[in-house]
Amino acid sequence: MAIRKIREMGDDVLTKQCREVKEVTPKIKTLVADMFETMYEACGVGLAAPQVGILKRIFVVDTTGDTPHVFINPEIVETSGSQTGEEGCLSVPGKCAVVTRPNYVKVRAYDLDMKPFEMEGTELLARAILHENDHLDGHLYVEKAEGEIMDVE
């Protein structure tokens, strides 16, 4: 495993549409392991493949520090409710802003064995899943920011 360089806002790779994963190759397994290591090292709760320069539909999330989840070819199938709170991104270091998102999400995706699964999340988990999913379509949270982008104290 290795820590990969996190691409920052202004890098074109963060604005691109990511491609579907057809097959989980050893290279993709290494990518996912590296994404977890890179996310934990940076104290993040989620990381999407384009943030390490790979235009594939993969993200990882762990909102508790001991519940790693990988999502391959994710699809948001349901959302409801609303939550408004501060959000940050490892690609926009040292900054945060207020973003409103659904409070509940149901996501369908594939795991590392390409087995389909569904997962539900609320609050921070829902926010993280929706934030990471946006990365796969080239979107950053700053586009949804309400008010100023602030410095993290």
Residue ranges that bind Ni ion, judged by CB under 5 A = 89
User: DSSP H helical segments within 51-141, as ranges?
Assistant: 123-135
In whole angstroms, the minimum distance from the beta carbon of 14 to Ni ion comes to 9
Catalytic, out of 23, 118, 132, 148: 132
Smaller CB separation from Ni ion, 18 or 89: 89
Q: How far apart are CA 115 and CA 129, in angstroms?
A: 19
Residue 85's nearest CA partner among 141, 151, 153 is 141
Q: How far apart (Å, rounded) are the C-alpha atoms in residues 30 and 36?
A: 10
Instruction: Closer to Ni ion by CB, 89 or 99: give it.
Output: 89
Instruction: Answer yes or no: 86 catalytic.
Output: no
Least Å from the CB of residue 23 to Ni ion: 26
Q: Choose between 32 and 89: whose C-beta lies nearer to Ni ion.
A: 89
Closest contact distance (angstroms) between CB of 78 and Ni ion is 22
Whole-Å CA distances, 130 to 28, 76, 105, 115: 22, 8, 8, 21
Catalytically active residues are 132
